Amino acid sequence: MTNPKFDLEALEPRRLLSVAINTALTDVEPWVQQTTVTAPSVGTVAIDGNTMVVVGDGDTAYVFTKSDSAWTETAKLTDSDGAGFGSVAISGNTIVAGASYANVGANYYEGAAYVFTEPATGWTDMTQTARLTPSDGQSRDFFGSSVSISGKTIVVGSLKEGASDQDPSPGAAYVFTEAGTAWTDMTQTAKLTASDGQSDDYFGGSVAISGNTVVASGGGKVYLFSEPDSGWTDMTQTAELTASDGSYCGSVAISGNTVVAGAAHQIYDMAIWPWPTPSPGTAYVFTEPATGWTDMTQTAKLTDSAGTADFGFAVAISGNTIVIGAQQNPEPVFLGPYPGSAYVFTEGDSGWTDMTQTADLTPADGNVFGFGWSVSVSGNTVVTGSYNLLVGMLGSTSTFNIFGLQGDQVPISSTPVTATPQSPNYAAANRPTSPFADGTLIASTAGLTPGSATVLATNPYTGDGLYLLATPADIVS
């Protein structure tokens, strides 16, 4: 196989996609802008597979789905409280949107999160399936300031949890686990806090979850929580992840055993003019050690070649691809313009190492206000959100630029393993304890011609025995 190319849309599960594709490619193809969509939105976006959701003006989130090569608006999601969304996340057929300014009973700005589950007939205009609130909520907790979801587990940040005008709080994150077969109105399963939290740490300002691992930013650090064997419960961190140079990490993302944290260094203090020249922003990659997560400094440091101060404002990761947003690059002048940038980093064969970007992402029209305000990646599809201060005024909209790898056209197959390998060194297996090695020739698999399938990559995250299987007809040189 020489430089095989595969179609993103033909692969399931999505979580395995980026690992298998990038393992199979032996050269780096250029990232190209495929299309744009616009919405009356503040620029926050999340994507999973062929579904994208953006936070809109007021209490609306817009769902876009991809069919063939076209993205179209499919549904508008609203909350019954009219709270107004600010954060959003998606996993499979479930979307969660945070509304940190929602009033709950007599508590103003306590915040809430709203869950939307895709109907059997597909996404359509709807109000929430369930509302999530903290059992100990108070006014000005700003619960919902950040949200993340992985399967049946949601984590919600509450960056001012427990605060009052006289007693600032470090903040908290709350874990919610779907009960039974459907999401219902509920309070948290568990509350996560930092053991060394300080007032105004803004813990929970950014949260992320992948499988049974949660990360949250607070006080410039990244706090990591591993789910206990008995399930989620109130707890402090399993490990603290910090930058070796003391940089203040404010944005976080996680995929499998890899965490990325952004440390933007821009200064926007209107009391200081002219603004001092800031140092370049950075991002830090942390990879789980073989012995498990523990307090550590970064595995690798990511920078952009231009030394942009706002680099790290937004971060996202899928498999071995990291995307970093810098929503004000070139450096701003007073009152703008702020076109912004986004950067792609691809893990090397030897793992993550200190590096500059693999690719720059730039909008085709060359000037999108606040480009890189938010970023999201799913497999080989990246979407960037652009911040628009004028949303809700004069009919203004935000632009979302969608990028993909040039040449992703040819499908391969994916199937749960129920297979007999050709080699006698491997036994027939279903969800094996020790998965087949990459490159194993499979003698028979469900839905594939006997003797034609080759294991491209095993699932490194869940160990559930899922593989990507390629046949000769699926591969082009």
pLDDT at residue 57, rounded to an integer: 65
d(CA 252, CA 223): 10
**CA 55 centroid distance within chain:** 15
Count CB atoms within 10 A of the CB of residue 472.
10
CA dist., res. 463 & res. 212, Å (int): 13
Q: What is the pLDDT of residue 94?
A: 97
The mean pLDDT of 455-462, rounded to a whole number, is: 41
Quote the strand ranges of 119-268, DSSP E. 126-127, 130-132, 143-150, 153-158, 172-177, 190-193, 207-210, 213-218, 221-226, 235-236, 239-242, 251-255, 258-263
- Across-strand partners of 472? none
The CA-CA-CA angle for residues 10, 12, 13, to 5°, reads 155
pLDDT of residue 231: 96
| Banded model confidence at residue 350, pLDDT cuts 50, 70, 90 | very high
Tokens of 132: 């999530």
> What distance in Å separates the CA atoms of residue 186 and residue 67, rounded to the nearest whole number?
34
Contact 324, 302 (CB under 8 A): yes
Give the span between the Cα atoms of 398 and 400, in whole angstroms.
Answer: 7
Interatomic CA distance for residues 31 and 406, integer angstroms: 6
How far is 59 from 64, CA to CA, in rounded Å? 17
Residue type, 339: P
Could you give the CA distance from residue 173 to residue 134 in angstroms, rounded to a whole number? 10
Contact, 51 vs 44, CB < 8 A? no
Average pLDDT over residues 239-252: 95
Please state, in angstroms and rounded to a whole number, the distance separating the CA atoms of residues 45 and 272.
32
Average pLDDT over every residue of 169-176: 92
Segment 38-66, tens digit of pLDDT: 777 667 899 999 999 998 766 789 999 98
Average pLDDT in the chain: 76
CA atoms of 311 and 275, how far apart (whole Å): 17
364 pLDDT exceeds 80? no
Could you tell me the two tokens for 103?
């009033």
In the chain, what is the greatest distance between 2 CA atoms, to the nearest angstrom? 73
In the chain the domains, ranked by start, together with CATH numbers, are: 16-405 (2.130.10.130), 413-474 (no CATH)
